[in-house]
Structure 1
Amino acid sequence: MTVKSRPAPGARSGPLSDSDPVVLVLTIGFILLFVGASIVDSGYVSDLIGAGFAWTATYLGSFFQVLLLLTFFIAIGTALSRAGAARIGGLDRPEIGRFRWLSMIMCTLLAGGGVFFAAGEPVYHFVVTPPAFDTEAGSAAAVAPAMAQSFTHWGFLAWAVLGSLTALVLTRAHYGQGKPLQPRTLLYPVFGEKVIQGRLGGVIDAFCVIAVVAGTVGPIGFLATQMSFGLHELFGVSDGYGTQLTVLVVLAGVYMTSAMTGLHKGIQLLSRFNVILALVIAGVIFVFGPTLFLANTYTQSMGEYVTSFFAMATMTAETAPAWWMKWWTVFFFAWFIGYTPLMAVFVARISRGRTVREMVLAVAVLAPIATTIWFTLLGGSGIYHQLAGTFDLTEALNNFRFDVATLTVAQALPGGTWMAAAILLLTTIFVATTGDSMSYSIAMVGAGHDEPNPWIRVFWGGAMALMAAILLYMGAGQIGVLQQFIVLTAIPVSLIILPSLWTGPKAAMAMAREQGLV
Structure 2
Amino acid sequence: MDKDDSKTPNHTTDRTVLFISGGLLVLFVVLAMIDLSMVEGWINQSFQFSATFFGSYWELLLLANFVIGMVLAISKYGKVRLGKLRKPEHGSYRWIAMILCTLLASGGVFWAASGPLMHFISNPPLFDDNSSALAGVDPALAQSFLHWGFLAWSILGTLATIVLMYVHYHKDYPMKPRGMLYPLFGEKIFHKKSIIGILADVISIVAVAAGTMGPIGFLGLQVGYGMHVLFDIPNTLVTNIIVVSVLVVIAAISVATGIDRGIQFLSKVNVGLTVVLAGCVLILGPTMFIINHFISAEGFHLQNMLTMALYQGNQAWLGAWTVFFWGWFLGYGPMMAIFIARISRGRTIRQLVVAVSIIAPLVTNFWFSVIGGTGIKAELDSPGSISEPLNSGGKPAAVMAIMDQLPLGFYLAIGFLFISLIFVATTVDSISYTVAVSLTGSDEPNRLIRVFWVLMFGLLSIVLLAIGENSVSAIQNAIVVTAVPVSILMLPTLWGTVQVSRKLAVEQQIDSKVKIDK
- Tell me the TM-score normalised to structure 2 length: 0.95
> Do the aligned residues in 1 keep the contact of 2:378 with 2:386 (CA within 8 Å)?
no
User: Given the alignment of the two structures, is residue 510 of structure 1 paired with residue 503 of structure 2, yes or no?
Assistant: yes
How far apart are 1:504 and its partner, in Å?
1.0
Match of 1:472?
465
How far apart are 1:30 and its partner, in Å?
1.1
> For 1:327 and 1:465, how far apart are their aligned partners in 2?
27
1:307 to 303, 324, 335: 303
2:27 to 20, 24, 33: 33
How far apart are 1:509 and its partner, in Å?
2.1
**1:37-436 maps to which residues of 2 (within 5 A)?**
37-199=31-193, 200=195, 201-316=197-312, 319-320=313-314, 322-389=315-382, 391-398=384-391, 401-436=394-429
Q: Which moved more, 1:216-225 or 1:186-195?
A: 186-195
How far apart are 1:448 and its partner, in Å?
0.2
> Do the aligned residues in 2 keep the contact of 1:185 with 1:195 (CA within 8 Å)?
yes
> For 1:273 and 1:478, how far apart are their aligned partners in 2?
32
**For residues 449 and 482 of structure 1, do their structure 2 counterparts lie closer, same or farther at Cα, with a shift above 3 Å needed?**
same
- 1:169-227 Cα offsets, whole Å, 9 max, x none, are 01111111001111101111210122111242222101001000000111111011000
> For 2:202 and 2:168, how far apart are their aligned partners in 1?
19
> Do the aligned residues in 1 keep the contact of 2:80 with 2:349 (CA within 8 Å)?
yes
Unpaired segments ≥5 residues, structure 2: 512-518
> For 1:192 and 1:506, how far apart are their aligned partners in 2?
13
| Residue-pair matches, total | 504
Local SS of the residue matching 1:222: helix
Unpaired segments ≥5 residues, structure 1: 13-17
> For 1:240 and 1:289, how far apart are their aligned partners in 2?
32
Local SS of the residue matching 1:96: coil
How far apart are 1:413 and its partner, in Å?
3.3
1:449 to 410, 433, 442: 442
> For 2:276 and 2:389, how far apart are their aligned partners in 1?
28
- Tell me the TM-score normalised to structure 1 length: 0.95
Local SS of the residue matching 1:308: helix
How far apart are 1:411 and its partner, in Å?
2.7
- 1:416-439 Cα offsets, whole Å, 9 max, x none, are 100000011111101100000000
Match of 1:15?
none
How far apart are 1:399 and its partner, in Å?
6.5
How far apart are 1:345 and its partner, in Å?
0.4
- 1:56-100 Cα offsets, whole Å, 9 max, x none, are 111111100000000000000011111111111121110111111
> Do the aligned residues in 2 keep the contact of 1:284 with 1:414 (CA within 8 Å)?
no
> Do the aligned residues in 1 keep the contact of 2:62 with 2:152 (CA within 8 Å)?
yes
Local SS of the residue matching 1:238: coil
How far apart are 1:114 and its partner, in Å?
2.3
Q: Which moved more, 1:408-417 or 1:328-337?
A: 408-417
Match of 2:456?
463
How far apart are 1:25 and its partner, in Å?
0.7
> For 2:316 and 2:251, how far apart are their aligned partners in 1?
35
> Do the aligned residues in 1 keep the contact of 2:47 with 2:481 (CA within 8 Å)?
yes
How far apart are 1:405 and its partner, in Å?
1.0
Q: CA RMSD in A?
A: 1.6
> Do the aligned residues in 1 keep the contact of 2:263 with 2:430 (CA within 8 Å)?
yes
How far apart are 1:7 and its partner, in Å?
8.7
> For 2:170 and 2:132, how far apart are their aligned partners in 1?
54
> Do the aligned residues in 1 keep the contact of 2:86 with 2:346 (CA within 8 Å)?
yes
Match of 2:516?
none
> For 1:512 and 1:92, how far apart are their aligned partners in 2?
14
> For 1:61 and 1:390, how far apart are their aligned partners in 2?
35
